[in-house]
Amino acid sequence: MVGWSAGGGYALACAARMPKRISAVGLASCEGPDDMVPGAWQNLTPEERTLSERIRQDPLAARGAVADQVGWYQDPDSICGNWEREGPAVDAPILARPDVRQDLTQMWREGARQGVGGLVDDWIALSLPWGFAFADVSVPVVVWHGELDHLVRPAQAHYLSAVLPNATLVLYPADGHLLLLQHWGEILAAVTAGA
């Protein structure tokens, strides 16, 4: 199983809860819990910290504020353009590829087809305790991360690879958040090697 970006927490949860069904996990550009990763809480914007605190106090009451924070998701056709303008230069050539731009836009369109509710749920779930201990993930885990990732800082990958009992860290000094698209063959081969 491979988790990319916010999908890493879900991949790890599956591995912790279904170890007989999951033989290995790959984490590509994934985050850990902000309150556990050294420095992660401080790297959040003041607005993100306030929102995380509201979520922890009352997740249901915070839904509206989270929806406001992720309002950009309602316009999936603009996400790639915004990413090109605001993201690291290393991701721009990947986003410029018509096949990548089309596939990512289609992914975001499908994700937003019924509104921002799914992304709101993800944000809330990742802001709360994850419901399993990292020590419960017994399968091999490979953590891939680009050192130029502007969305998920490399400290997240260092943390995950340190706390997962059977993890290997692979860093790419010249890659950003989209490393999954450049290294998919390598990632797939590593995760399926023992299957």
Mean pLDDT of 17-45: 92
Percent with pLDDT over 90 in the chain: 74
In this prediction, residue 21 has a pLDDT band, given cuts at 50, 70 and 90, of: very high
Render pLDDT for 100-116 as a digit per residue (tens, 0 to 9).
989 999 999 998 889 89
Weakest-pLDDT range from 8-17, 33-42, 83-92, 178-187 = 83-92
110-119, long-range: CB < 8 A, 24+ apart: 111/73, 111/76, 112/73, 112/74, 112/76, 115/74, 116/67, 116/70, 116/71, 116/73, 116/74, 117/67, 119/70, 119/73
Structural domains of the chain ordered from first start: 1-33+133-195 (3.40.50.1820)
The answer to whether residue 186 scores a pLDDT higher than 90 is yes
Nearest alpha carbon to residue 100 among 28, 180, 30 = 180
Average pLDDT over the chain reads 92
Given this model, what pLDDT does residue 195 score?
58
Per DSSP, the residues of 95-119 read HHSHHHHHHHHHHHHHHHTT-SHHH
* CA–CA distance, 163 with 8 (Å, rounded to integer): 14
Identify how many contiguous H helices and E strands the chain contains and give both numbers: 11, 4
Nearest alpha carbon to residue 3 among 34, 28, 31 = 28
In this prediction, residue 157 has a pLDDT band, given cuts at 50, 70 and 90, of: very high
Render pLDDT for 48-91 as a digit per residue (tens, 0 to 9).
999 999 999 999 999 999 999 998 888 878 888 888 787 788 99
The answer to whether residue 187 scores a pLDDT higher than 90 is yes
3 or 88, higher pLDDT: 3
